[in-house]
């Protein structure tokens, strides 16, 4: 098994958490992004009804933060981490799209990417859950690690997750 699969050993027959015992704690920061597409009707309703938008987005942000703090419980091989800063920003300024950005910062031997991805994903799922009765065709189009810094692999940037007028 390739050594690039840190959770597998012995040709993939055994799984394990990554051994971080010899690593030093360093500052780590990760940002994940999710893009959702909603119907024109739902988009209009969320845009024009600030109370509705606030209720949906506040609930979704809260769910995302709660989830990212429990990543080590949700993803079997993730280490439990102490999050020092987390923020979720939701925008819906381009017709029919909702954009979610989740950023996580901490000082640890590992982490931040999975926590940011979990936060963004659960935030999107919460929006879906709260809006599914009004729109049966909501799509969660893409979720990914937008950027990260710190740790052994250093800085990472994914230009495919840039926001543009087409997404």
Task: Tell me which residues are annotated as active site.
Answer: 129
Dihedral sign for Cα atoms in the order 162, 61, 90, 86: negative
Burial 19-28 (b: 16+ CB within 10 A, else e): eeeeeeeeeb
How far is it, in rounded angstroms, from Cα 110 to Cα 27? Answer: 9
Q: Outline where DSSP puts E strands in 45-159.
A: 85-91, 97-108, 139-149, 156-157
Residue given tokens 């981490």 in the structure block: 81
Helices 40-48 and 50-68: angle between axes, nearest 10 degrees: 100
């Amino acid at each position: 098994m390739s050594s690039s699969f840190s959770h597998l050993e012995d040709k993939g027959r055994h799984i394990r958490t990554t051994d971080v015992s010899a690593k030093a704690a360093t500052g780590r920061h990760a940002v994940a992004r999710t893009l959702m597409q909603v119907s024109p009707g739902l988009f209009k309703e969320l845009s024009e009804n600030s109370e509705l938008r606030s209720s949906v987005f506040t609930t979704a942000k809260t769910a995302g933060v709660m989830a990212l703090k429990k990543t080590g419980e949700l993803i079997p091989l993730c280490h439990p981490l102490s999050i020092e800063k987390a923020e979720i920003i939701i925008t819906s300024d381009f017709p029919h799209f909702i954009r979610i950005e989740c950023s996580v910062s901490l000082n640890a031997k590992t982490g931040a990417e999975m926590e940011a991805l979990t936060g963004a994903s659960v935030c999107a799922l919460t929006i879906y859950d709260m809006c599914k009765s009004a729109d049966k065709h909501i799509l969660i189009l893409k979720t990914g690690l937008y950027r990260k810094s710190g740790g052994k692999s250093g800085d990472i940037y994914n230009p495919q997750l840039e926001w543009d007028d087409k997404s």
